[in-house]
Structure 1
Amino acid sequence: MRIDYLVDHPNQMATVAAWHHAAFGHLDPSKTLTDRVHTLTTSMQRDALPLGLVAHAADGTALGCASLVLRTLTHPELGPWLSAVYVEPGHRGLGVASALAERAAGECARLGFPELYLFTPHHESLYRRLGWVSIDRTRINEIAAVVMKRWIRWR
């Protein structure tokens, strides 16, 4: 598996937008698929946020994605955020999400951020195993979620 910048795979933007819309659309139902494509367009870069990442199998098949953003749906005073981590169902349980989260932390270190945040309705234990700590509980569109933080080791 390799993880690349989304900017290096513009042909996969529609796939990533569709993943985001299907998996996370309930968190912000006001966003259309077109809105998500526009948002992803802003993440087509390597040296600033927002930044998109895509995981690929050896044969080039897209396995999953993640984004780094300055702000998200909750806690506007905090940032940056690991956002929209998604793995195709047939590739779950193989470490793709963990690899994406680790790469995102590395990108934050490279860009000089001392900490990284996320919120998750369902995967607190996964992120805890990766060194994240729970700092708050919140609701997003009536969905319970935990807010987590990870301190970044600069490289």
Structure 2
Amino acid sequence: MKIDFLLNHPGKVKEVSEMIYKEFVMKTGSNMDFEDVFKYFANTKDNEFPITLIALENGMCLGTVSIFENDLKVRQKYKPWLGSLYTKPEFRGKGIGQKLVEKTINVVKELGFNELYLRTEDASDYYRNRGWTYVESLSDDKYEKIDILTMKC
């Protein structure tokens, strides 16, 4: 398996956009449409935000993760953020998500950051069990509780 920048695989932009649209956009009631998501991923970078990574094996995309400058408007002081971590269901439990996170941490460190943040509504224990540190919990207009966690780079 190889982790690489989506930028280097333009033929995978539609597939990544579909995964993220179904898993994160549709489920949150966002007013973004698929075309917005596609345009977003078609313009990700490899050395400035937003950055998207994909896990590839035998030419097949197994999962994805992105790095955003900010993923929570009420916490502008925290940056950058890990977001949209997704592994296709048939490939879960094989460490793909962890490898995507490890590569994300390395990319953030190479960009000169000492910390990486993430927000989660329901996976706090998953991240804490993998070394992430709890920062705070808060509410926003869509979710009752959001946990913010951090990882030193």
Same fold (TM over 0.5): yes
SS across alignment from 1:118: strand
Q: CA deviation at 1:90?
A: 0.3
Deviates more, 1:115-124 or 1:60-69: 115-124
Structure 2: which 5+ residue stretches go unaligned?
none
Deviates more, 1:34-43 or 1:95-104: 34-43
Residues 1-155 of structure 1: pairs in structure 2 closer than 5 A: 1-25=1-25, 26-27=27-28, 29-43=30-44, 45-57=45-57, 59-74=58-73, 75-140=75-140, 141-142=142-143, 144-152=145-153
Alignment: residue pair count: 150
Contact 2:117 2:149 (C-alpha < 8 Å) held by counterparts: yes
CA distance in 1, matches of 2:28, 2:152: 26
CA distance in 2, matches of 1:77, 1:101: 22
Paired-residue identity, %: 26
Deviations 1:54-89 (A, max 9, x none): 0012x1211000001101134222110001000000
Contact 2:121 2:143 (C-alpha < 8 Å) held by counterparts: no
SS across alignment from 1:77: coil
Q: Which residue identity lines up with residue 78 of structure 1 in the other structure?
A: Y
RMSD across aligned positions (CA): 1.5
Distance 1:27 1:77, change over 3 A: farther
TM-score by length of 1: 0.89
TM-score by length of 2: 0.90
CA distance in 1, matches of 2:104, 2:53: 8
Kindly report structure 1 stretches of 4+ aligned residues shifted beyond 2 Å: 142-145
